C-alpha cells in the first residue's frame, strides 16, 4: 500500500524495521503489538480550525501502521475533543492515562489546555511530547522535565517582529491585540524584550480578548482610535479572521503583523477575502504548499503523496495545519525508533530530548530540529513573510532565536 509514497519507501522502512520484541519496565500503554498514545484537540469550539491537526495525526499513524508500525508495534492514537476548554482537556487526559493507559500524550493543541494538564502529567512522570503551542513556558525543563514543545516560541516570534519594526519604522505607533492567556501574553513579553524602555512610548494601546468572546469588533475599533500605524494580532484563526475583516471594513491600513498560528489560507484568509489581507506580515518555519518555489520540493512531495492516499478529501494547496500534523508525526516516529525496544517512559522522554539536526519534510530549507537535556525548544528558527494576495512571500534571512 505504501509503494507510491517515497517517504515511506525510504525513511520509514528504516524506522519501522523489525528488531525483535523486548519489553521494558515502566512501559504502560506498550505491548508486543501496540503503542497506545493520547491527545486532545479542539475539534469543536472557537479553535476548531485546528481540528485538521488531529485528523492528520490519525491519518499519518494509519500510514505508519499500514507499513508495519514501529518495530512491529502499531501506534494506537486516542484523540479526544476538548473544545478548546482546559477543563475538558484535563478530564479527557485523565481518562486516557488512568483508564485507557496511554504511554504518553502527544501533540495536544492549545496553550491553555496544555497548561491545564502539565502538572498532572509531570507529577505522574508521563511524557507530554511535542505539544502544539509555542508558549515559551513549555521549554521549562527544570520545573517540568516531562513536557517538551514543538513549534517556535511565540515570544521569539514577537521579538523578530519587534526588531523588524524598529528597523523599518523606528517611530512606529504600535497597537497589540492579544488573547488573554499565556499565548497572547508571550507576544507582549517579546516586544518588551526588544523595545525595553521604549515600549511605553512605541506601544500606544493594548487590547485583549477572551477565547469565549463572540467578536473582536470593539477591540479593533479601540486600537484604531489610538492612532496606531502598526498592528500586532496575536490571535487564533477564528479571531484573526474577525480582526482582518474589521480592519478592512474600517479602512484602517496599519502595518499588520499576524501570529504564525493564524496564517492558514483556507481557515483565515479565504473566508475574509484574499485581497483584504494583502500586505500582512507574519513569520514561518514551514514550507508553503501553495508557493511555486516548492512545487517540486522532495519533502513536500512526500507529504503530497501521503495526502493523496490518506487524506484525499483535503485541500493540498493549503497545507499549513496538515503539514504541521505530518511533521510532528515524523518527529515522533524518529523518537520511537531511537528508543529501540526500551519504550519506558523515561527513555521516550530521554530520546525526545536527543534530536540532532533533524530535517523534517515540511520545514523551510535550512531549518532543523534540535533538542537536548537543557534545550526543550525543538524549533528555534523563523523567516519573515508577507501576503501578496495569492501566496505568502518569504523575505530576509532565516532568523535564529539567538539572533532575535
**68-88: pLDDT as tens digits:** 999 999 999 999 999 999 999
DSSP 8-state symbol, 306: H
Q: Per-residue pLDDT for 137 more than 60? A: yes
Looking at the structure, tell me whether residues 148 and 158 fall in a common domain. Answer: no
Q: How does pLDDT run across 150-164, given as a tens digit for each residue?
A: 988 999 999 999 999
Looking at the structure of the chain, the number of domains it has is 2
Q: Per-residue pLDDT for 46 more than 50? A: yes
Report the pLDDT value the prediction gives residue 22, as an integer from 0 to 100: 41
Q: Per-residue pLDDT for 7 more than 50? A: no
Looking at the structure, tell me whether residues 229 and 363 fall in a common domain. Answer: no
Q: Could you tell me if residue 127 is inside a domain?
A: yes
Nearest Cα neighbor of 254 from 171, 172, 153 is 172
Q: How does pLDDT run across 178-211, given as a tens digit for each residue?
A: 999 999 999 999 999 999 999 999 999 999 999 8
Q: Could you tell me if residue 51 is inside a domain?
A: yes
Looking at the structure, tell me whether residues 194 and 105 fall in a common domain. Answer: no
What gap in Å lies between CA 379 and CA 214, rounded to an integer? 33
Q: How does pLDDT run across 321-346, given as a tens digit for each residue?
A: 999 999 999 999 999 999 998 999 99
Report the pLDDT value the prediction gives residue 318, as an integer from 0 to 100: 66
Q: Are 258 and 281 in contact (CB under 8 A)?
A: yes
Q: Are 279 and 288 in contact (CB under 8 A)?
A: no
Report the pLDDT value the prediction gives residue 1, as an integer from 0 to 100: 37
Q: Could you tell me if residue 63 is inside a domain?
A: yes
Q: Could you tell me if residue 1 is inside a domain?
A: no
Q: Are 31 and 85 in contact (CB under 8 A)?
A: no
244 CB burial (10 A radius; 0-12, 13-18, 19+): buried
Domain that holds residue 134: 6-152+291-373
pLDDT over 90 percentage in the chain: 84
Q: How does pLDDT run across 374-384, given as a tens digit for each residue?
A: 999 999 899 99
Three cell numbers, residue 278: 494583502
Helix ranges (DSSP H) in 135-235 = 154-168, 182-195, 199-202, 217-225
Looking at the structure, tell me whether residues 95 and 216 fall in a common domain. Answer: no
Looking at the structure, tell me whether residues 318 and 389 fall in a common domain. Answer: no
Report the pLDDT value the prediction gives residue 320, as an integer from 0 to 100: 83
Looking at the structure, tell me whether residues 197 and 276 fall in a common domain. Answer: yes
Q: Per-residue pLDDT for 122 more than 50? A: yes
197 CB burial (10 A radius; 0-12, 13-18, 19+): exposed
> The CATH number of the domain where 324 resides is what?
3.40.50.2300
pLDDT over 70 percentage in the chain: 92
Which whole-number Å values give the CA distances from 302 to 59, 140, 257, 295, 363, in the listed order? 14, 33, 31, 12, 12
What gap in Å lies between CA 29 and CA 100, rounded to an integer? 8
Looking at the structure, tell me whether residues 245 and 391 fall in a common domain. Answer: yes
Q: Per-residue pLDDT for 266 more than 90? A: no
48 CB burial (10 A radius; 0-12, 13-18, 19+): middle
Three cell numbers, residue 397: 534571512
Q: Could you tell me if residue 378 is inside a domain?
A: no
Looking at the structure, tell me whether residues 280 and 180 fall in a common domain. Answer: yes
Looking at the structure, tell me whether residues 147 and 99 fall in a common domain. Answer: yes
Looking at the structure, tell me whether residues 191 and 169 fall in a common domain. Answer: yes
Q: Could you tell me if residue 333 is inside a domain?
A: yes
> How much is the average pLDDT of 387-402?
88
Q: Could you tell me if residue 379 is inside a domain?
A: no
Nearest Cα neighbor of 341 from 18, 23, 11 is 23
Q: Could you tell me if residue 303 is inside a domain?
A: yes
Looking at the structure, tell me whether residues 24 and 145 fall in a common domain. Answer: yes
Q: Per-residue pLDDT for 294 more than 50? A: yes
Task: Give me the torsion for CA of 248, 251, 257, 260, rounded to 10°.
Answer: 0
Among the residue ranges 51-55, 72-76, 97-101, 266-270, the one predicted with the least confidence is 266-270
Looking at the structure, tell me whether residues 176 and 214 fall in a common domain. Answer: yes
3-class DSSP assignment, residue 230 = strand
Q: Per-residue pLDDT for 40 more than 60? A: yes
Amino acid at each position: 500500500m505504501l509503494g507510491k509514497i517515497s517517504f515511506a519507501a525510504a525513511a520509514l522502512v528504516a524506522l519501522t524495521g523489525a528488531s525483535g520484541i523486548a519489553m521494558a519496565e515502566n512501559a504502560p500503554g506498550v505491548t508486543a503489538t501496540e503503542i497506545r498514545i493520547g491527545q486532545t484537540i479542539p475539534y469543536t469550539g472557537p479553535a476548531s480550525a485546528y481540528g485538521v491537526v488531529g485528523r492528520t495525526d490519525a491519518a499519518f499513524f494509519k500510514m505508519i501502521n499500514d507499513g508495519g508500525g514501529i518495530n512491529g508495534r502499531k501506534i494506537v492514537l486516542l484523540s479526544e475533543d476538548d473544545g478548546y476548554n482546559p477543563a475538558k482537556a484535563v478530564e479527557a487526559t485523565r481518562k486516557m492515562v488512568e483508564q485507557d493507559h496511554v504511554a504518553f500524550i502527544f501533540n495536544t493543541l492549545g496553550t491553555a489546555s496544555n497548561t491545564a494538564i502539565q502538572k498532572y502529567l509531570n507529577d505522574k512522570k508521563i511524557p507530554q511530547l511535542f505539544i502544539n503551542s509555542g508558549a515559551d513556558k513549555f521549554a521549562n525543563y527544570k520545573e517540568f522535565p516531562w513536557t517538551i514543545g514543538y513549534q517556535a516560541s511565540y515570544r521569539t516570534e514577537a521579538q523578530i517582529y519587534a526588531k523588524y519594526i524598529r528597523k523599518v519604522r523606528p517611530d512606529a505607533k504600535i497597537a497589540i491585540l492579544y488573547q488573554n492567556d499565556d499565548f497572547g501574553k508571550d507576544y507582549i513579553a517579546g516586544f518588551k524584550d526588544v523595545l525595553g524602555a521604549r515600549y511605553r512610548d512605541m506601544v500606544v494601546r493594548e487590547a485583549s480578548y477572551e477565547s469565549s468572546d463572540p467578536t473582536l469588533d470593539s477591540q479593533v475599533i479601540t486600537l484604531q482610535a489610538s492612532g496606531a500605524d502598526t498592528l500586532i494580532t496575536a490571535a487564533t484563526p477564528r479571531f484573526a479572521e474577525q480582526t482582518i475583516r474589521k480592519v478592512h471594513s474600517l479602512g484602517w491600513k496599519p502595518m499588520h503583523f499576524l501570529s504564525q498560528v493564524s496564517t492558514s489560507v483556507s481557515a483565515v484568509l479565504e473566508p475574509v477575502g484574499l485581497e483584504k489581507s494583502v500586505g500582512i506580515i507574519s513569520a514561518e518555519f514551514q514550507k508553503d504548499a501553495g508557493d511555486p518555489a516548492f512545487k517540486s520540493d522532495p519533502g513536500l512531495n512526500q507529504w503530497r503523496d501521503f495526502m493523496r492516499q490518506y487524506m484525499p478529501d483535503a485541500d493540498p494547496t493549503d497545507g499549513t495545519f496538515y503539514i504541521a500534523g505530518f511533521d510532528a508525526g515524523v518527529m515522533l516516529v524518529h523518537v520511537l525508533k531511537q528508543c529501540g525496544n526500551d519504550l519506558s517512559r523515561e527513555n521516550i522522554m530521554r530520546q525526545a530530548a536527543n534530536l540532532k539536526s533533524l530535517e523534517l519534510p515540511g520545514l523551510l530549507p535550512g531549518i532543523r530540529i534540535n533538542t537536548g537535556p537543557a534545550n526543550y525548544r525543538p524549533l528555534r528558527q523563523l523567516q519573515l513573510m508577507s501576503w501578496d494576495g495569492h501566496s505568502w512571500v518569504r523575505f530576509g534571512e532565516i532568523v535564529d532565536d539567538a539572533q532575535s
